[in-house]
Structure 1
């Protein structure tokens, strides 16, 4: 076989056997290097099972896996050199990724073939704590420009599957990622401190978060921190994983200008998940999410600024009292979600928990329909210390400023459909439930100020529409609601009657 045919370099011409037994790393790398020496082109992996350790792309190289081609990750740790890499946002020695590259331009991994990381031994060694260094990714590029990953199937990744770091102009299209549901840290697609990222038409089913947008951690030098920005995620299906689309918790460089649309989540623990904690710093802002359908999720939407994974029991992270605001105080703001449907929800319709000193801010939810499952076990909608178990709960919001709910419907809940605590500048417009809990109000406001409730409805099966409590509750207005319930407004023992104004009824204590 000719090594070069029409600008295409076939790895078999460089000695690769593809017999599923022979280590073909050197042959594959030789084909890549030869292609690079000719100014770039396509390196083809034809049908066969090619065992390989870590291989490095070069500038202007397209690695094309033809239909029937399988790259099998070597099960010998010695086939993965130790490099100075990045693990969960922090620089440290790591095993080299199966396909890797640094400071490259115009690179691609494409085709109808499969990359099988054979991650079982890595997962076992990680669980047994017998690894000296962090596990390899399946595909990881650092400081690269013009990156394309298209058409391939990626399975059994040792850890994160696709992880571009500080890359620009990244396209990930028509990729299928399948890792066992119990495989540790096998996230699907994790762009980290990247710019101009487009993820489209992908299928992801993994053991951790499906797609996660990250931006480093606070331990990085300040001059190394960079935002992840200008990201679009569209037309993707997520089946199983800790989160469908996630932002954080590594976000010290900030995340901004993100659009997520036209996606389906099936059986993910959380659907849309935002997570960070004190000490991380960074700002998540200008996020637009629309046209999402979810089924069989624990909680469709979470925003958690008390994220405790890796910091369980740390009082700085878990303290619910306000602390001084510094550059290491994380912020979530200007996040807008619309046209979302979620069915068979287990724990809660939504869980939003800002910091006492830094509420989540300017959050809008429009045209949302959420139905809780008829039966569900209790659990924690997010990973945080000192949280209550939830079971078929409605919206839970604490420490929010500038929260707007427009045409949001919650059904099948146990307890209040909308519970807001320690929040301000709140609007509920056209919110409702067709299944009110007779023992709870539809809307419960505790220590909430400057709230406007209008265009809402409560049928005759509702006992109390709005219950207000808390000494700090004030300036709560009701107008233009359609309330057929027994008691439109109830005032708790700690709230003042004048905290609520209504054009329909004069509030009083029950």
Structure 2
């Protein structure tokens, strides 16, 4: 064991990174998936019309809907029925033992009158923040659901800024004519002067010590609400409903247990800033299945708090099953991070299709986050027309490198060091991407112990690994437009390829770079298809690569 390895292990133990199994003794596998408890409701039904709700697309039904929910909960729970119609409403507060059921052709359309939304204590990207009240919310509840075949529409366009480049000329003209104000350069539309001022001056919405929600009235317009927030709830079900046009994130369960999201549709415009589909944050035991997403940011995203605040919370997102979902647009199909300071583990992703997303399987973090992401399993993942990388790890999220491309090489491991390790991906097909696999860890904490098997990746370029350790590829076929090189490795160790297939007449098969590269092996691979099988650059030594005979 090298000094560096001993140092890293001691540091990890010091900061508690080896305590995950002690806290979570359950062992899960594809044959022993996490179990998720479902909510159970009384059969009693309460109609919102009984309390005076009117589906005329004009009447504000906030009080009627909330009275119906409250009455149902006080009687022991049951179904609150929203029948067909266009129901205008302000914020809805869910209650325990209530299933809010939207009939087919029923739409809950949230009012554009921002005075109806109180400024409350909430969270923004994993930190305590002032937010406008969410259109639908619940805190400290048990047995709660939103079901049916109706639509929940957050009217998000009245809350969002948009850049001219994101819209067609005709839609840009419509946006200007709708009201709002323009940035001084005329290239960004804001919903109000207040929003513009807060954005241009980079105002913070974080609830720092001494700050309360009432201190943010001067930037109220800027505090975009998430569409649905369930906080510290148990046995939550979202099923069948279409959730769309959120001002910020769409579905945000926070610190919930036994969460099921089944057969829902999530839709946001491509230009929706922070228009995530689902952000599962610090939740335990969850199932996401049969869902279709078409959104403006990450689609299905795993989070657990940000930086020191997230580490102090110390609640990982764990024990999840994500299967049979389709993502049509988004920054990532399945995503972990970047706010993952509480960690994530025991998550199984299966039978998902990503079509036209920026990235496919996306893992992101940065120095200062901390947290351990481990035991993530993905299989039977099918991708088409991925704009960037099919499989992506980057621990330099939003870091701007110097013009020479050099990274900060400080070998410091502390509580803010993110750890991504122990994952397995298999049966992955991608038809179209800029890069098949991209992994970039930290010099002091490489991305480690990732196994990728049985993959066919058609992309402009093949595989790029930097600061990676114990990455194993088996039965991987790379169909690439650029073949110089097919595989690029820099300052990585214990990298193995078994049964690698690649294009005939490739210029260079494998390029090893950096003096820290070592223990790289290649076997069961036909080297004769490459004009040059190997090269060593930037201080890499020939002994770092072992090619096993046979082909």
TM-score normalised according to structure 1 size: 0.85
- Match of 2:115, SS state, is helix
How far did 1:312 drift? 4.9
Q: Give 1:500's aligned residue.
A: none
Query: Aligned pair in 2 of structure 1 residues 436, 254: CA closer, same or farther (>3 Å)?
Result: farther
The answer to whether structure 1 residue 107 and structure 2 residue 144 are counterparts is yes
Q: Give 1:418's aligned residue.
A: 487
Q: Give 2:3's aligned residue.
A: none
The answer to whether structure 1 residue 185 and structure 2 residue 301 are counterparts is no
Please show how residues 349-364 of structure 1 align to structure 2 within 5 Å.
349-364=436-451
Please show how residues 287-436 of structure 1 align to structure 2 within 5 Å.
287-297=376-386, 298-308=388-398, 312=400, 319-345=407-433, 347-372=434-459, 392-414=460-482, 415-436=484-505
Contact map agreement 1:413 1:437 (CA 8 A) in 2? no
- Match of 2:71, SS state, is helix
Query: Aligned pair in 2 of structure 1 residues 52, 481: CA closer, same or farther (>3 Å)?
Result: farther
The answer to whether structure 1 residue 92 and structure 2 residue 182 are counterparts is no
> C-alpha distance in 2, partners of 1:94/1:314?
36
> C-alpha distance in 2, partners of 1:96/1:63?
19
How far did 1:66 drift? 0.5
- Larger RCO: 1 or 2 (CA < 8 Å, sep 6+): 2
Contact map agreement 2:363 2:394 (CA 8 A) in 1? yes
Please show how residues 208-357 of structure 1 align to structure 2 within 5 Å.
208-220=297-309, 222-297=311-386, 298-308=388-398, 312=400, 319-345=407-433, 347-357=434-444
Contact map agreement 2:126 2:310 (CA 8 A) in 1? no
> C-alpha distance in 2, partners of 1:396/1:12?
59
Structure 1, residues 392-435: CA drift from partner, whole Å, max 9, x if none? 22211100011101111111231211111100111110012124
Query: Aligned pair in 2 of structure 1 residues 434, 221: CA closer, same or farther (>3 Å)?
Result: closer
Q: Give 2:18's aligned residue.
A: none
- Match of 2:476, SS state, is strand
How far did 1:162 drift? 0.6
- Match of 1:443, SS state, is strand
Contact map agreement 2:332 2:360 (CA 8 A) in 1? yes
Q: Which of the residues 36, 40, 47 maps onto 2:73? A: 36
Aligned residues: 452
Contact map agreement 1:102 1:141 (CA 8 A) in 2? yes
How far did 1:437 drift? 3.4
How far did 1:335 drift? 1.4
> C-alpha distance in 2, partners of 1:331/1:195?
20
Segments of structure 2 that go 5 or more residues without pairing to the other structure are: 1-41, 162-189, 199-218
RMSD: 2.0
- Match of 1:58, SS state, is coil
In terms of fraction of residues, the more strand-rich structure is 1
Query: Aligned pair in 2 of structure 1 residues 15, 413: CA closer, same or farther (>3 Å)?
Result: same
Q: Give 2:171's aligned residue.
A: none
> C-alpha distance in 2, partners of 1:185/1:466?
43
How far did 1:128 drift? 3.6
Segments of structure 1 that go 5 or more residues without pairing to the other structure are: 373-391, 483-510
How far did 1:157 drift? 1.1
Contact map agreement 1:361 1:401 (CA 8 A) in 2? yes
> C-alpha distance in 1, partners of 2:323/2:536?
40
Query: Aligned pair in 2 of structure 1 residues 370, 89: CA closer, same or farther (>3 Å)?
Result: same
> C-alpha distance in 1, partners of 2:449/2:313?
29
Structure 1, residues 460-494: CA drift from partner, whole Å, max 9, x if none? 4x211222334353343211342xxxxxxxxxxxx
Q: Which of the residues 490, 496, 519 maps onto 1:450? A: 519
